[in-house]
């Protein structure tokens, strides 16, 4: 029997009583999906999973998603490694707040990350609830933002001069990152994004991938985004997840932003990740749905 233990924070829960290495029946999958939608990020501890198990479980939750700037592992076209070796000197991967691949025309619904080799200390992942952050904005500010669109791009991370570009390759990063000029492209998405399954509105911007606000001068746009970025990472919106070996983490990119942390210098860390595509395209919030 599935047991769900909420974290007590604005998002996050642990799910026990389920073995993800075996095929799941429809009722169990429905319960997992309900927990995922309710809590935003759910952890499944004490799982012994193969790559094939991870592929089967995630495919039951939604279509395969794309990972445009990370090469997959051999033989598994939709599985990537989040890897760091003990002596690695490059900056921690993904330590800037972001929603995975929000610069895509249709950003992914979710991400599943499995802890294959975990260090004994450090490596926590921070999650901030965009829905709680939106709800906490003053009504006047929500009214100003409700019809705005933000400019998303991968350029800060994956362009040739980005964080993971040509200079990063020279640092000897162990991950199979593929930077390129495609990262310069931009895409517009609503600042106030209505969740396609729950209807709840979330603040959908991040310092990792949001570079502007449509229709605003550069300085005004930058000032507004700085204020929103500071707001969305306030402690009351954040859940700090602590990893353990054999743990699977599943999160909702439509509601959350997240950031990696370090603190495990001298230890190897290896996780396997699959991106889950959205079942329906992103759309602006319908009139009257943003409160």
Asked whether residue 60 carries a pLDDT value surpassing 80, the answer given is: yes
pLDDT at 169 (0 to 100): 87
Asked whether residue 272 carries a pLDDT value surpassing 50, the answer given is: yes
Asked whether residue 284 carries a pLDDT value surpassing 90, the answer given is: no
The mean of the pLDDT values for the chain is 95
- Residues classed as catalytic: 98, 100, 258, 273
**pLDDT tens track for 104-127:** 999 999 999 999 999 999 999 999
**pLDDT tens track for 148-192:** 999 999 999 999 999 999 999 889 999 999 999 999 999 999 999
pLDDT at 280 (0 to 100): 61
Q: Quick one: CA dihedral 31, 35, 41, 43, positive or negative?
A: negative
**pLDDT tens track for 145-159:** 999 999 999 999 999
Instruction: Measure the CA–CA gap between 7 and 241, rounded to whole angstroms.
Output: 9
Length of the chain measured in residues: 291
Instruction: Measure the CA–CA gap between 79 and 82, rounded to whole angstroms.
Output: 10
- E-only strand ranges, 145-284: 149-153, 186-190, 192-194, 201-203, 210-213, 238-241, 248-252, 256-260, 269-276
pLDDT at 170 (0 to 100): 87
More confident residue, 280 or 222: 222
């Amino acid at each position: 029997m599935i047991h769900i233990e909420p974290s007590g924070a604005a998002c996050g829960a642990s799910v026990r009583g389920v073995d993800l290495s075996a095929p799941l029946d429809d009722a169990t999958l429905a319960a997992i999906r309900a927990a995922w939608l309710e809590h935003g990020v759910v952890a499944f501890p004490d799982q012994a999973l193969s790559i094939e198990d991870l592929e089967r479980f995630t495919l039951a939750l939604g279509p395969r998603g794309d990972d445009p700037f990370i090469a997959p592992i051999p033989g598994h076209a939709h599985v990537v490694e989040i890897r760091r070796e003990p002596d690695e000197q490059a900056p921690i991967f993904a330590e800037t707040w972001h929603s995975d691949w929000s610069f895509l025309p249709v950003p992914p619904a979710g991400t599943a990350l499995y802890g294959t080799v975990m260090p004994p200390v450090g490596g926590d992942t921070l999650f901030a609830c965009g829905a709680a952050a939106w709800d906490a904005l003053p009504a006047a500010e929500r009214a100003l933002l409700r019809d705005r669109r933000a400019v998303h791009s991968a350029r800060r991370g994956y362009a040739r001069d980005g964080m993971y570009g040509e200079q990063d390759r020279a640092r000897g990063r162990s991950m199979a990152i593929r930077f390129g000029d495609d990262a310069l492209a931009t895409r517009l998405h609503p600042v106030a994004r209505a969740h396609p399954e729950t209807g709840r509105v979330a603040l959908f911007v991040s310092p990792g991938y949001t570079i502007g606000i449509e229709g605003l001068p550069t300085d005004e746009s930058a000032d507004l985004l700085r204020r929103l970025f500071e707001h969305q990472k306030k402690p009351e919106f954040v859940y700090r997840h602590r990893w353990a070996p054999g743990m699977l983490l599943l999160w909702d990119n439509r509601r959350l932003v997240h950031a990696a942390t370090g603190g495990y210098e001298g230890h190897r860390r290896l996780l396997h990740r699959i991106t889950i595509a959205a079942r329906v395209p992103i759309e602006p919030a319908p009139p009257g749905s943003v409160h």
